[in-house]
Structure 1
Amino acid sequence: VQTYNRVNEAFPGGSDPAEVVVKADDINAPEVRAALADFRERAVSSGASRGPVDVTMHDEQNVALVYVPLVGGSDQDEAGESLDKLRDEVRPATLGKVDGVEAPITGQVAGSKDFNDQLVGSVLPVFAFVVVFAFLLMLLSFRSLTVALTSIVLNLLSVGAAYGILVAVFQHGWGASLVGAEGVGAIITWLPLFLFVILFGLSMDYHVFVVSRIREARLRGRNTADAIRHGVVTTAGVVTSAAVIMVAVFAIFGTLSMQSMKQMGVGLAAAVLIDATIIRGVLLPAVMSLLGERNWYLPKWLHRLPDLTHDEAPEAIATTVRDDEGERGERGERVGV
């Protein structure tokens, strides 16, 4: 990396300059030629490039390709600022003044910057959609405002833990040697949004599975504390088995040499491990135990919402309760004998 930086300082812009694709009705028209010359001059005088700015003409297609080495080179932030100067200052002041001329700017830096800008612009809408949709689904499925809120908070904790581990390992280098990621210093651009969607879905899967067993036990007549114990105990084996499988699979991705696959594998494996142990095994039952009967709170004005619960019929619940009581009675008689 140090050698690459020295080469980049000696030859700014590297081997992949910005490419300005100039298209006109007549690329050889005097005003177009003058605009191209002005663009070359201003690209250097504005500080966006140190030159040389090369122009390749394609007369038959009425297209000219302008290659502009950007100041900044491998420094994406500085190169992005140079690109902004070309797009926002140099191009409008030169090529933009000629009617019928189109001059989009592309290249590696432009593609990376546009992709990052599009991702950043999508973060809030995606986060909002996933969180709101999950909240409404939990609210309608469990008929409890408390369950819906706690599910969102716990799922966000799981995602936040994954983000923290990625930053610690790949950005700050804590334990990076353990996964072969020394000197990376950055996180792949698309990974945070990708991990959020995947992890939120996995976390919701665990949460629905555990809380469904707790709610069923509560509807069968158990008190909240007993229902929580029953739900956690009956789902522990399945949740643990599923988590072990997923952690093992994701950990394999963490051993690959590609940084994108390595970061994805480490992030997913760590998040699933934390979610299945600390989040679902400790925080979920702890929070529900502290809330007690408030777990099933639903304001009266929300009762008009559609009911998507999948509870058993009252007759089945009553039969189950009688069977449980009868079984306990028989066990008591056998113990007495």
Structure 2
Amino acid sequence: MATFLYKLGRSAFRRRRLVALLWVALLAVAGIGAATAPVATSSSFSIPGTEAQRAFDLLEERFPGAGADGATARVVFKAPEGQKMTDPAHKAVVEETVAALKSGSDQIVSVTDPYTGQAVSQNGSTAYVSVAYKVNAMELTDETREALTQAGHNAQGKGLTVEVGGDALQTMPETGSGEIVGVVIAGIVLVLTFGSLVAAGLPLLTAIIGVGIGVSSITALANVLDLGSTTSTLAMMIGLAVGIDYALFIVSRYRAELAEGREKEDAAGRAVGTAGSAVVFAGLTVVIALVGLAVVNIPMLTKMGFAAAGTVVIAVLIALTLIPALLGFAGDKVIGRKQRKAAKAGAEGGATGSAKSEKPNGGTRWARFVIRRPVMVLLIGVLGLGAIALPAASLEMGLPDDGVKPTSTTERRAYDALSDGFGPGFNGPLLVVVDGDKATADKTVSTIKDLQGWAAVTPATPNKAGDAAMITVVPKDRPSSGATETLVHDIRNATGDDVLVTGATAMNIDFSQKMNDALVPYLALVVGLAFLLLTVVFRSILVPLKAALGFLLSVVAALGAVVAVFQWGWLGSLFGVEQTGPIMSMMPIFMVGVVFGLAMDYEVFLVTRMREAYVHGERPGEAIVTGFKHSARVVTAAAVIMIAVFSGFIGMTDQMIKMIGFGLAVAVLFDAFVVRMAIVPAVLALLGHKAWWLPKWLDRILPNVDVEGEGLAKDTPADGAPGSKPDLVKV
């Protein structure tokens, strides 16, 4: 592989104008496709194989239109203390609002009057108007939303408290300035790392091009593939982080090759042949982790994983082709001015300058410290992450609703007003679908009423054919409570196979259960495939095993931090968490997938240099020091960049994006700086030669992918040979 990538890098360097033109053209085509494509909508949400989904499908079949995915809204009215919504003056305001809503937009299907639709609370303090729309929330026009909010404002000024809830007010997640700050921080780190604006700009430029192509392609195909509005945001988050990191490693290796006196084209080829090999395998681990989300069998999650994986593939291809092409354009400017002057002075000084002993850098000093005290470092790292992981034992999962939004939003205030007026379970009613005649439905109503935990059970509503019926059950407790989950299970256990329970609350319960059931198979698949891949890369059994165990430690610690902040509220205000609540059901498995791929990046980049030194004859301890000497600074810079990029998404208004951004940022922090930079060298120091042990029979079977670039030594001219043209510029 190293030889092939070496040739690819040299070819891209020589034909840099053609390569750059092809990538710019691809970006233009993707951009035009995104600009002309219809606006992305909310992707359809389904959970195949669950009772809630079967009930929803039966509802669509027997009650056409009843399960439509059009947007809904509730305009909630609350009377002043001591007054009732049935008072003539207040009733007149509500009726005026109903009339205004009916004439406010042609996208409205129906507006329900609370006085004829039994939408007034028992104590008379609260009433609500239900509004149904023809299209989903993302397809509502600004005029329609303005008409809805204006109707609420007009009623607000007439003595009533008025709030608007429902998904009709849902818009595309707002992108705050945090993402820009993350990119700026990445730029600063790159400048400090390279000492050159040109070298720092290359990873940023190529990452932006890659993300632009990936996100534009997703936008162009969003409606065709039903990708949804958040898919592109997640792809951008991951694509930007890995794009910068992959380019960073190749540019860094290119500068190191120049420092050894290689000619520029040869240095570009060697950088792609060595660091590029690590990029390929690191990218493969990320792709495996993201594509592996398909085993969960939830279409929305599968599409998110495939879209993000596509962006990672683009980042890898850009690192292997566009980076060497741009290095050809950069010339000597990829080296910092101070370094160029130092190299020139060193060249003029001749042997005296070259004889000076190289000072150990920070990576060298840290590696030697860990080698001297491996047990202490290992214990501190494991116990520290273990303590942070403790809150993960209290993990509660659920799907977000208006109840988790900040109290400053009208949606949250409407949610609370309905809970106060109609009971905590009103915001999460259960919909029971009966596949049978009226007698079966009436019997089901009686069975449900014999159970505990419900606040209201409506009479059965049959369909036109009389072969199915709907029953609405309002729980006593809030939608995310354990009592409501118990009620769902009790209804399912007490009724037959012809009775199915659905609704947002039941879907939430089934979704969380499906996530739990899929976690172990998913881990087995992803970790197993990655273990095989790393065994091929490192030609070792214990190194991949150590990598997998270290990942599990860092991801559990990251989950503990997420629980502490988003569920318990610790330091919540610091991260903009205004309302605590259950962790979103998809968060653990999604974080496992993404973090595993990213964790293996650092494992490959760091340990590859150690193995390279070991196979060239260095002792295990020396190999660890050599690996840190060449890779620690770059890995540190890459981790800081990735943390900065992910942290930028904490400023998003969307709770899911905010939580994922925080989770990924702390996971990279733990994995890069505790696991890879501390625990890994400590374990390797304790194992010694055994770390690189591989059974002979397995050594014969495994393909030799030559990640270390050993083949380049015999396939390319050596320094000073006739084919070699040393560059005058050294680092």
TM bucket by the smaller chain?
0.7 to 0.9
- In the TM superposition, what whole-angstrom CA distance separates every residue of 1:223-260 from its partner, at most 9, and x where no partner exists? 22222111112112332232222111111111223321
Q: After superposition, what is the alpha-carbon deviation per residue over 1:62-121, rounded to whole angstroms, capped at 9, x for unaligned?
A: 4322112233333432111111111110x22xxx5xxxxx43221111111111111111
* 2:540–2:693 CA contact under 8 A, matched in 1: yes
Counterpart residue identity of residue 242, structure 1: A
Which residue of 2 is the match for residue 316 of structure 1? Answer: 713
Distance in 2 (CA, whole Å) between partners of 1:58 and 1:314 is 73
Is 1:44 aligned with 2:449?
yes
| 2:627 aligned residue | 231
1:185 Cα shift? 4.0
Q: In the alignment, is residue 83 of structure 1 matched against residue 485 of structure 2?
A: no
SS of equivalent to 1:65: strand
Once the two structures are TM-superposed, the CA of residue 278 in structure 1 deviates from its matched residue by 2.3
Q: Given the alignment of the two structures, is residue 138 of structure 1 paired with residue 550 of structure 2, yes or no?
A: no
Contact 2:438–2:466 under 8 Å retained in 1: no
Q: Which residue of 1 aligns with 2:425?
A: 13
Aligned residues of 2:531 and 2:548 also touching (Cα < 8 A): yes
Question: In structure 2, what is the Cα distance between the partners aligned to 1:112 and 1:122?
Answer: 15
Counterpart residue type for residue 220 of structure 1: H
Partner in structure 2 of residue 327 of structure 1: none
Which one of 219, 235, 242 corresponds to residue 638 of structure 2? 242
Counterpart residue number, 1:114: 510
Q: Report the CA distance shift for 1:282/1:5 in structure 2 as closer, same or farther (over 3 A).
A: farther
Whether 2:554 is the aligned partner of 1:158: answer yes
TM superposition shift of 1:214: 1.0
Query: In the TM superposition, what is the alpha-carbon distance from 1:275 to its structure 2 partner?
Result: 2.2
What SS does the aligned partner of 1:104 have?
A: strand
Whether the 8 Å contact between 2:430 and 2:502 is mirrored in structure 1 is yes
Residue pair 1:251, 1:266 contacting (<8 A) in 2 also? yes
1:56 aligns with 2:461: yes
Matches within 5 A, 1:198-237: 198-237=594-633
* SS of alignment partner, residue 475 of structure 2: coil
Residue 301 (structure 1) shift = 4.8
Map of 2:520 onto structure 1 = 124
Question: Distance in 1 between the 2:683 and 2:713 partners?
Answer: 29
- Number of positions where the alignment pairs a residue of Structure 1 with one of Structure 2: 307
Instruction: For 1:313 and 1:299, locate their aligned partners in 2 and report how far apart those are by CA, in whole Å.
Output: 21
Is the contact made by 1:253 and 1:262 (CA closer than 8 Å) also made in structure 2?
yes
Q: What is the distance in 1 between the residues matched to 2:593 and 2:675?
A: 18
Aligned CA RMSD, in angstroms, stands at 3.0
C-alpha separation in 2, matches of 1:104 and 1:292: 60
From the superposition, tell whether residues 282 and 252 of structure 1 become closer, same or farther in structure 2 (CA, over 3 Å): same
Q: Which of the residues 654, 657, 666 maps onto 1:270?
A: 666
Q: Helix, strand or coil: the match of 1:69?
A: strand
CA contact (8 A) 1:254 1:263 kept: yes
State, as a whole percentage, how many aligned pairs show the same letter.
36
The answer to whether the Cα contact below 8 Å between 1:171 and 1:185 also exists between their aligned partners in 2 is: yes
Question: Is residue 291 of structure 2 the alignment partner of residue 291 of structure 1?
Answer: no
Letter in 2 for 1:14: F
How far, CA to CA, are the matches of 1:9 and 1:305 in structure 2? 70
CA distance in 1, matches of 2:483, 2:663: 29
Deviations 1:36-71 (A, max 9, x none): 222112211122523232322322474322112233
SS at match of 1:67: strand
Residue in 1 aligned with 2:593? 197
Secondary structure at 1:303 match in 2: helix
Check 1:161–1:13 CA distance in 2 against 1; reply closer, same or farther (3 A cut).
Answer: closer
Looking at structure 2, the residues matched to 73 and 129 of structure 1 have their Cα atoms a distance apart, in angstroms, of: 37
The residue aligned with 1:282 is 678
CA distance in 1, matches of 2:710, 2:478: 68
Could you tell me which amino acid in structure 1 is paired with residue 538 of structure 2?
Answer: F
Is 1:255 the equivalent of 2:255?
Answer: no
| Change beyond 3 A, Cα 1:8–1:75 | farther
Cα distance in 2 for partners of 1:304, 1:220 equals 20
Cα distance, 1:128 vs. partner?
A: 1.2
Match of 2:474 among 69, 91, 106: 69
Comparing 208-217 with 231-240, greater Cα deviation is found at: 231-240
Q: Is the 8 A contact 2:431 2:503 kept in 1?
A: yes
Cα distance, 1:203 vs structure 2: 0.5
In structure 2, stretches of 5+ residues that fail to align are 1-402, 408-412, 720-731
Question: SS of the counterpart of 2:701?
Answer: coil
Alpha-carbon distance between aligned partners in 2 of 1:255 and 1:19, rounded to the nearest angstrom: 36
State the AA in 2 paired with 1:154: G
Q: What's the counterpart of residue 439 of structure 2?
A: 34
Task: Decide whether the 8 Å contact of 1:5 with 1:74 is kept in 2.
Answer: no
CA distance in 1, matches of 2:581, 2:569: 7
Contact 2:492 2:499 in 1 (8 A): no
How far apart, in 1, do the equivalents of 2:643 and 2:468 lie?
A: 53
| 1:174 has 2:174 as partner | no
Q: Is the 8 A contact 1:76 1:109 kept in 2?
A: no
CA distance in 2, matches of 1:304, 1:77: 55
Q: Compare 207-216 and 44-53 and name the one that shifted more.
A: 44-53
Q: For 2:608, give the aligned amino acid.
A: S
Letter matched to residue 52 of structure 1: V
Bigger relative contact order, structure 1 or 2, given CA contacts below 8 A and separation 6+?
2
Structure-2 separation of matches of 1:259 and 1:173: 14
Closer, same or farther in 2 for the Cα pair 1:38/1:60, shift >3 Å? closer
Q: Which residue of 2 aligns with 1:105?
A: 501
Say which is worse superposed, 270-279 or 295-304, in terms of deviation: 295-304
**How far apart, in 1, do the equivalents of 2:458 and 2:656 lie?**
34
**Farther off after superposition, 228-237 or 65-74:** 65-74
Helix, strand or coil for the counterpart of 1:20?
strand
Q: Which moved more, 1:184-193 or 1:272-281?
A: 272-281
**TM-score normalised to structure 1 length:** 0.81
C-alpha deviation, 1:288, in angstroms:
1.5
